[in-house]
Amino acid sequence: MRFVSHRDVGVTFDLEPDDDAGAEGNRHGLGAVPDEPEVDALADPVRHGARAVRAFVARQPRRRLVAVGVGIALVAGSVVGGTFAVRAAQAAAAERDRVAALLASPGGVLDLGSGPLEEAWSVPLTGAVLGTLSGTLAGTVVVADGADAVGLRVDDGGEAWRHELGGDLTCGLRPMPGERAPTPTTLVCLAGPVEARRVTVLDADGVVVARRDLGDTTDRSVVPTADGGLLTVRPTGEVPELPVTPAGIDLSETFPQGILAGPDALLEMTDAASGALRWTAEVPFEPGAYPLGCGPTIDVDGSTRITLSVGAYVTPTLIVIDGCGVDAAFLPDGTLLAGREDLDQAYLQPDPDGGYVLHGYAAPSQVLDERGGLRSVVNLGVVVPTATDAVSANLLVLDGNGTLLCLDADGQRLWPASPGATSPPAVSSVLVRAGGVVLGLTRDWSLVGLDANDGTLLWQGDRDTRVPEYGTDAAVTDGTVAVLAVAADQSATPERHLVGVDLRTGRTWTLDREHTAMAELLVVDGALVEYATGTATEVRDLPNGEAGWFRDGTLTRLTPPAP
């Protein structure tokens, strides 16, 4: 057997047939190219390219083979190089998709490292956190400082901008734990006394784009909403005079059938900048309202007086109207989500995968889509994680024994495989679902990791790392690690620490924090910021004669250690 080689090319070609080529060899003596199944170039570009080169060689006269060796090598090299480029592009696209899904998820942080976090910067505060903004250059946390709204850069904690707005300052809205909502690009702020309330609208970079006087708002509630909206809720219709319950007498004796008459609630959503009306709705009074839910107040003589008031609780995706005999939930565009008959039997919570869950007290729970349409009815308790890294179509539920089950979009059981199947330890809640792992909390306050695909137990934490259920309402994840904000007790200023958990292995770390009344984990453009504050709030006179709210606190950016 003879070979002709080309030193510069580094490839060789068999120019004579092997002895066993026989009748199957072609006229050039290279042996037949056996039949192979078609190979999709996109599915396997390497195999496809190699087969193309082999077929080309089989068709050539012997004298051309050395001449085309260089060309074949270049073609083969191009195929291989192109393959690596295609695979690199595919990997880059997959990573972009992963990061986008992570940042769109509740509690999604870009990088939590693998060990205890460090303080990149820390800034003392004199007022509350008012909101967050996602700017064109950098994200900001907006805080109150007397009469001023101040934007602090997430990158370095420095002051990006400051605007004097006035006393009794409140702004925007932040998502509930587990609510899927982007960092806002508009912030609506209210300031001034109720007799002369003012609204100011800031854009993503903290620039004031509108100011407007609202006048006297004594007879109504005014609340900023998502997308630069302003919600006004006021009672409408006749307000009956209710009897006062003498001291020492139960309210049920004064109102044995509940409150039978009261005002309806009128809702008006306007554009905060222009005042243009977006939509209106009316929520009728429902007789039989529970007296304790009607704002009872105690007079100086000990008697109890009922106030027929109505207010609103607003999140980025939800508007809940709550008052005496008036209960309803709306989407930000005015679509009715749930009425009194629903909210009497259940409480409403945004779903981290989009949509909402009506958790039934003594009735089945309802899973709703983003427009309020019914997805499914579940007879078990639906559990909603606080942090995720992507959307899942599956639903996690708990039975009465603490067994965690996973249902598909049609309500069919995915795991455990059957009611009698071996199940992991009983859990009381689910904190995080990310990286293919469900992070749960057992009844004895230990952490447990379950495979999100089949529910098998991956690991169970030791009792040295105990996480009380009452103190774990804040969690974040980067898809590999979860970080929990934990209060060790139920005192006014409990011992606090952060607990990091490797989701696949269960390895943990702990970072002690200051004893504070409250600690909140904020996520701004994928960055993690801790907001800690005390219990004492002071009202002080401001230079403009209005009253300002003051509360000491700390804002801290937390990052993995530098490499």
Q: Give CA torsion, residues 535, 541, 546, 552, to 10 deg.
A: -30
Percent of the chain with pLDDT over 90: 49
Distance CA 439, CA 433 (A): 6
Distance CA 33, CA 53 (A): 11
Of 438, 417, 435, nearest in space to 427 by CA: 438
Is the pLDDT assigned to residue 452 strictly greater than 70? yes
> Is pTM beyond 0.75 here?
yes
Burial of 486 (0-12, 13-18, 19+ CB in 10 A): buried
What domains does the chain contain, in order, with CATH numbers? Answer: 233-350 (no CATH), 380-472 (2.40.10.480)
Is the pLDDT assigned to residue 7 strictly greater than 50? no
Burial of 395 (0-12, 13-18, 19+ CB in 10 A): buried
pLDDT at residue 77 in the model: 62
Residue 459 binned pLDDT confidence (cut-offs 50, 70, 90): very high
pLDDT averaged over every residue in the chain: 84
Composition of the chain by helix, strand, coil, percent to 5:
15, 40, 45
DSSP string across 473-495: -EEEE-SSEEEEEEESS-SSS--
Number of H helices, E strands in the chain: 4, 43
Query: Span 543-555, mean pLDDT?
Result: 90
Is the pLDDT assigned to residue 214 strictly greater than 90? yes
List, for residues 65-86, the tens digit of each pLDDT value.
Answer: 455 555 555 555 666 677 888 8
List, for residues 338-361, the tens digit of each pLDDT value.
Answer: 887 788 778 899 999 999 999 988
Of residues 380 and 463, the one with the higher pLDDT is 380
pLDDT at residue 499 in the model: 92
pLDDT at residue 24 in the model: 41
Distance CA 471, CA 169 (A): 29
pLDDT at residue 417 in the model: 72
Of residues 32 and 328, the one with the higher pLDDT is 328
Instruction: Give 329's contacts (C-beta < 8 A, 6+ positions apart).
Output: 318, 319, 320, 321, 336, 337, 338, 342, 343, 348
Of residues 49 and 453, the one with the higher pLDDT is 453
Other C-beta atoms within 10 Å of 60: how many? 15
pLDDT at residue 13 in the model: 38
Percent of the chain with pLDDT over 70: 83
pLDDT at residue 536 in the model: 80
User: Would you give the DSSP letter of residue 104?
Assistant: H
Q: Which amino acid is at 119?
A: E
Strand partners, 512: 497
What pairing do the DSSP bridges indicate for beta strands 139-145 and 129-134?
Answer: antiparallel
Distance CA 389, CA 93 (A): 17
Output phi, psi for 284, to 5 deg: -75, 150
Is the pLDDT assigned to residue 522 strictly greater than 60? yes
Give the helix/strand (H/E) hosting 159: strand 159-164
Residue 240 binned pLDDT confidence (cut-offs 50, 70, 90): confident
Query: Span 424-433, mean pLDDT?
Result: 90
For the ranges 122-131, 415-424, 445-454, the lowest mean pLDDT is seen at 415-424
Is the pLDDT assigned to residue 126 strictly greater than 90? yes
Other C-beta atoms within 10 Å of 461: how many? 21
Task: For the chain, give the number of residues.
Answer: 563
Residue 58 binned pLDDT confidence (cut-offs 50, 70, 90): low
Is the pLDDT assigned to residue 267 strictly greater than 90? yes
Of residues 19 and 9, the one with the higher pLDDT is 19
Query: Span 498-523, mean pLDDT?
Result: 91
Q: Are 365 and 382 in contact (CB under 8 A)?
A: yes
List, for residues 137-169, the tens digit of each pLDDT value.
Answer: 789 999 999 999 999 999 999 999 999 999 999
List, for residues 379-417, the tens digit of each pLDDT value.
Answer: 888 999 999 999 999 999 998 888 899 999 888 899 987
Distance CA 230, CA 212 (A): 12
Residue 370 binned pLDDT confidence (cut-offs 50, 70, 90): very high
Q: Are 348 and 329 in contact (CB under 8 A)?
A: yes
| Coil, helix or strand at residue 509 | strand
Distance CA 561, CA 129 (A): 26
Of 527, 544, 558, nearest in space to 183 by CA: 527
Q: Give CA torsion, residues 329, 332, 333, 335, to 10 deg.
A: -20
DSSP string across 88-99: HHHHHHHHHHHH
Q: Which amino acid is at 497?
A: H
Residue 182 binned pLDDT confidence (cut-offs 50, 70, 90): confident
Distance CA 516, CA 534 (A): 5
Long-range contact pairs involving 463-471 (C-beta distance under 8 Å, separation at least 24): 465/499, 465/508, 465/510, 467/441, 467/499, 469/428, 469/429, 469/441, 469/445
pLDDT at residue 148 in the model: 96
Q: What angle do CA 281, 284, 285 make, to 5 degrees?
A: 145
pLDDT at residue 121 in the model: 97
Beta-sheet strands, E only, within 186-315: 187-191, 197-202, 208-215, 221-225, 229-236, 264-271, 277-283, 296-298, 304-306, 310-315
pLDDT at residue 172 in the model: 86
Strand partners, 144: 149
DSSP string across 21-52: -GGGS-TTSS----------TTT-HHHHHHHH
Q: What angle do CA 431, 434, 437 make, to 5 degrees?
A: 85
Is the pLDDT assigned to residue 422 strictly greater than 80? no
Instruction: Give 83's contacts (C-beta < 8 A, 6+ positions apart).
Output: 45, 46, 49
